[in-house]
Structure 1
Amino acid sequence: MSTGIGELSDRARDIFRMVVEAYLESGQPVGSKTLARLPVLNLSPASIRGVMHDLEVAGLLAAPHTSAGRVPTESGLRLFVDGIMQVAEPRAEERAAIEAQAQAGGPIEEAISNATAALSGLSACAGIVLVPKAEPAIRQLAFAPLSPRQAVAVLVGSDGSVENRVVDVPEGVTPATLAEVGNYVSARLSGLTLREAQARLAEEIVAGEAALDDAARELVARGLALWSRDGQRRPVLIVRGHANLIDERAADLDRVRRLLDELEGKEEIARLLDQARHGEAMKIFIGAENALFALSGSSVIAAPYRGADGKLVGVVGVIGPTRLNYARVVPMVDFTAKTLSRLMA
């Protein structure tokens, strides 16, 4: 088990921090001679090697086979991010670039996507954003019988979208009842979103104004609930800047290919980001801490953003190699999330 930050001596902590910072900067293993040249340490290479060996035994550093230097383990990176790293505010030009893209006009989805693209470019990672599935207004909700106990529900949205579902039909529903349901929705619920339609139906039932029998009311409620549930379960994941993951610094192309494959599995990544959406603060997933990125050894930095009512709406962040400049990228992600929250307000 890895050592905690409180168990490190001041000397070990300083050397560990310098190894991690040098590795994140260069991507190369860091040797004792490199650190010995730093005036702030005033230690011999032999003394530094002894401390680095202890850090390796503690599970915080590792020695690649091809080098005498050390690199931080994923546990070491976690310790650095949680207990040592000092973050700085994004630079003025970085803040301006993100805000300019977010406020460029156009549909809100486009503004969110553009801000994510700006974040991707500034961080040299793939930018990711989880947005709720758009909820179109209802134009028509119709049911066609399949069998005595099943029907096909057809939802036509105001945006022209058409979706079909097979639903169980309450006992006592006849083809005439199905037609009655269609007429009711067209007359009373057309033009409303699913959430608004559910609220309207509930109000009319309480007020005794829903001109439907019990079976028909149940069928309408069941259909509206089905699509509302689906919408909540299917957030939309936008990935921008795949190309940032492939450049001359990508020494391990197999790892990059695995990461790109993982990015194709958007549903899995959306599930991962949903963990951040249900939290209050930023989430940082490092390498094998999450099974999804165990093979590619990638890191995800993600922060939730909020809507006008203050409720959590989506998540924005980046995916890249574990060798990220966390001190720079973490506040950049946080600033993007706050910018999107202001945009949604």
Structure 2
Amino acid sequence: MSSPPITELTERAREIFRRVVEGYIDSGQPIGSKALAADGTLNLSSASIRSVLADLESLGLLAAPHTSAGRLPTDAGLRIFVDGMMRVAEPTSEERAQIEARLSESGPIEHALQQASALLSDLSGAAGMVMVPTREQRLAQFNLVDLGQGRALAVLVGEDGGVENRVVQLDGPASSGSLDRATNYITSRLSGRTLAEASQAMRGEIAAGQTQLDDASRDLVERGLAVWSEDANERPVLIVRGAANLLDEAALGDIDRVRSLLDDLEDKQSVASILESAREADATRIFIGSENRLFGLSGSSVIASPYRDREGRVVGVLGVIGPTRLNYARVVPMVDLTARSLGRSMDKLIV
């Protein structure tokens, strides 16, 4: 049964529903009619409140755990609350200053991404996540330098002037002629291409026997391509900070759920695929509990937003993961602000 839009509820039902959701988000515990009546501002008896709670449960917006007389929101109820009732709490000036200060420093991009993930964790009380941007820069030059003892240094130079080095293990000593021939061959085919494009072209030529390389030079080319491809595959796709925050006092009462969530976080490729689905979003996206298959069993929510460079190009996605009782009103604008701040810092970072 699909849940009704919030506009179809009576004013009384909406107010009671709002208080149950906000109480659950604040405490992590089911909210009962006695607690709602004790507040005094509803001017309703416990019996009248119980009747409304039962109606909301029949509509699929609330559920009653068998161990409690109280109610808590279902995933569908949380979705209705987030989409139609949530009162967004903008970050304070102190929080804004903290975010801007920690993300405004120049330096390696990995440091900025780790800072962003840690920031999200600290400010949300959950786990912060940041996708590492793909590095598809166009290349300008490649060099192989003999290091002796069966090793060579592979040097990649990008069109933006960035330089990256990797050590290539060889079967034995390499002649200067072989190194030069391999270097010239690779440089002539990668100029203006990404590494993936250049690798595909060169492997195709080598497999088809369309090169003038001798065996030694061809071996150097294949080893150079192999070490760079392996490096690209092993680079982290996701940085997660603050997973320990998921073990709060309320979570310890449901340790199986938390264990399931921590297991999910270990599969970073799957988590990254969820964040990837927010890449083209115009605004921060919210995935609640069973709305996402990966986190359905752990009862967790993800709040994610793309971050862009100064030209407006999406370069990655960041977000927060935690229990479905996340403080959405506070965390959603926090994620959005962090994404915008990280985007403004992109041109200062060393990729």
TM-score (norm. length: structure 2):
0.75
Offset of residue 15 of structure 1: 0.7
CA distance, structure 1, for counterparts of residue 18 and residue 165 of structure 2? 56
Offset of residue 134 of structure 1: 3.2
SS in structure 2 of the partner of residue 281 of structure 1: coil
Offset of residue 196 of structure 1: 11
Match of 1:194 in 2: 194
CA distance, structure 2, for counterparts of residue 265 and residue 63 of structure 1? 32
Match of 2:36 in 1: 35
Matched, 1:115 2:120: no
The residue type paired with residue 263 of structure 2 is D
Match of 1:26 in 2: 27
* Residue among 165, 183, 192 paired with 1:160: 165
Check whether the contact 1:135–1:231 (CA below 8 A) recurs between aligned residues. Answer: no
Offset of residue 103 of structure 1: 1.7
CA distance, structure 1, for counterparts of residue 281 and residue 92 of structure 2? 27
Pair 1:336–1:23, CA change in 2 (3 A): same
The residue type paired with residue 241 of structure 2 is R
Check whether the contact 1:235–1:270 (CA below 8 A) recurs between aligned residues. Answer: no
CA distance, structure 1, for counterparts of residue 80 and residue 232 of structure 2? 38
Offset of residue 333 of structure 1: 0.6
Match of 2:135 in 1: 134
SS in structure 2 of the partner of residue 293 of structure 1: coil
CA distance, structure 1, for counterparts of residue 249 and residue 50 of structure 2? 31
Match of 1:319 in 2: 321
Match of 1:263 in 2: 265
CA distance, structure 1, for counterparts of residue 196 and residue 258 of structure 2? 45
Offset of residue 295 of structure 1: 1.2
The residue type paired with residue 239 of structure 1 is V
Pair 1:86–1:160, CA change in 2 (3 A): same
Match of 2:13 in 1: 12
The residue type paired with residue 139 of structure 1 is F
CA deviations 1:149-193 (Å, max 9, x no partner) are xxxxxx864422479xxxxxxxxxxxxxxx978634335746x66
Check whether the contact 1:29–1:67 (CA below 8 A) recurs between aligned residues. Answer: yes
CA deviations 1:323-345 (Å, max 9, x no partner) are 11111111111110111121125
Q: Any gaps of 5 or more consecutive residues in structure 1?
A: 142-154, 164-178, 202-214
* Residue among 255, 274, 277 paired with 1:272: 274
Offset of residue 313 of structure 1: 1.1
* Residue among 332, 336, 339 paired with 2:338: 336
Match of 2:237 in 1: 236
Written as runs of structure 1 = structure 2, the 5 A alignment for 1:35-184 is 35-135=36-136, 137=139, 139=142, 157=156, 158-161=163-166, 183-184=184-185
* Residue among 251, 254, 257 paired with 2:256: 254
The residue type paired with residue 159 of structure 1 is E
Pair 1:193–1:127, CA change in 2 (3 A): farther
Percentage identity across aligned positions?
Answer: 60
Check whether the contact 1:277–1:304 (CA below 8 A) recurs between aligned residues. Answer: yes
Q: Any gaps of 5 or more consecutive residues in structure 2?
A: 145-153, 157-162, 169-179, 202-209, 212-220
Check whether the contact 2:134–2:315 (CA below 8 A) recurs between aligned residues. Answer: no
Offset of residue 290 of structure 1: 0.6
CA deviations 1:45-66 (Å, max 9, x no partner) are 1111111100000000000111
The residue type paired with residue 43 of structure 1 is L
Pair 1:93–1:9, CA change in 2 (3 A): same
Match of 1:288 in 2: 290
CA distance, structure 2, for counterparts of residue 103 and residue 71 of structure 1? 41
Match of 1:306 in 2: 308
